[in-house]
Amino acid sequence: MMIELRERRLGEDIERALHSLRPLPRVARELLTISSTCDIPLQRIVDLIEYDPVLAARIVRLANSTFFGLRRRVSTIKDAVIVLGIQGVRNLAVGVALLPDPDANEVFGLKLSAASGLNYYAFLDHTLAVAITARRIATILDPANADEAFLAGLIHDLGKPFLAAIDAETYCQVLSAAAERHCDPAVLERETFGCDHGEIAGRLCELWGLPPSLTRVVRMHHEPGQNGPIDLALAGANVLAQLLEIGASGNTCLDAAALRALLRSSLTLEQLNDLASNLPAEVAEACHVYGSCGSAFRPPLESDEIRSRLERLGESDRSTPQASATALREEQ
């Protein structure tokens, strides 16, 4: 289904650009296929991963990361697959394929421009922070879908660098205007391009054959009233990443309503505070796992300051559902 845009020519151009993107690597494509099949022999997964030495090395590093808290280190692909599971391996493979590559100055094979207003190292940090936190939150709200929440976090904002690559100067104007008006860039994306980055990311999910449930969460992550466990996990993770100022995605607004919705679920302020306190170190480790150097984000906040920011945001004026990390910092 083509994305519906106000300007037909622009819609056709975007759809054509989406179709021109390079396909997922073979290993990622095959993992997507077999991850939905029951009774796959472990050795088949191992053989497939070993076909890609770079991916194999990253999988072993991830299995040994603090995300999984193992008591012993693993050194073989077989042990790593046992630890991560097929879904975890799939997510890592797809994430490596989809995350922007600032060192190559391109994303999805499209050349990037500094004129777009996006800092791509900061974008990587933000993306990984959201993915990690979404998985942590989903582990509490909906453990069976924690891996899908992680993948949703990796993908949800990928429409931004795509739009930036399509028209860097226009996208820079969108981000500048959004910051000036203190609104979500998605609002101005729709006004300018006729669609927002969530719709673009959802279309990418369709083209790459990702699960429909994941496609829906990614596409609708800026729509109100999405209250499924993964929706809550993704929205809450985005707020925490912004609240702690880990990286940047071009959005200066904090969705206070999303935080309040999360606190109305089974999560407590103490749990969110613990998640936030550990997040900077986990993002730094994730940057290493994924092979990106990451950017130097702000020094980690003390636990008391994190809790204070969470409380102030959660108690902010309900008639004003958006705030900013800068404003919370200046209130100190």
Predicted local distance difference test score (pLDDT) of residue 2: 43
- CA dist 79 and 304 (Å) reads 39
Given a contact cutoff of 8 angstroms between Cβ atoms, the answer to whether 14 and 200 are in contact is: yes
Number of domains in the chain: 1
Sequence letter at residue 68: F
- CA dist 209 and 318 (Å) reads 39
> CATH no. for residue 166?
1.10.3210
> Does the residue 95 lie in any domain?
no
> Does the residue 244 lie in any domain?
yes
Backbone φ, ψ for residue 101 (5° rounding): -115, 90
- CA dist 32 and 174 (Å) reads 34
> Does the residue 162 lie in any domain?
yes
> Does the residue 186 lie in any domain?
yes
Predicted local distance difference test score (pLDDT) of residue 292: 59
Predicted local distance difference test score (pLDDT) of residue 63: 80
Predicted local distance difference test score (pLDDT) of residue 233: 92
pLDDT by position in tens, the chain (length 332):
344 444 434 477 788 888 877 777 888 888 877 766 667 788 888 888 888 888 888 888 878 877 776 677 888 888 888 888 887 788 777 777 776 665 666 666 666 677 888 877 788 888 888 998 998 899 899 888 888 898 899 889 989 988 888 888 899 999 999 988 888 899 999 988 888 999 999 988 888 888 888 899 999 888 766 678 899 999 989 988 888 888 888 888 877 788 888 878 878 888 888 888 888 888 888 777 766 555 545 555 666 766 777 777 666 544 344 555 555 455 54
> Does the residue 145 lie in any domain?
yes
Predicted local distance difference test score (pLDDT) of residue 279: 82
> Does the residue 128 lie in any domain?
yes
> Does the residue 63 lie in any domain?
no
Sequence letter at residue 167: D
> Does the residue 44 lie in any domain?
no
Reported as type and span, the H/E element at residue 254 is: strand 254-255
- CA dist 265 and 90 (Å) reads 28
Predicted local distance difference test score (pLDDT) of residue 3: 43
Query: What is the residue range of 299's domain?
Result: 8-23+104-330
State whether the Cα torsion 250-257-202-243 is positive or negative. Answer: positive
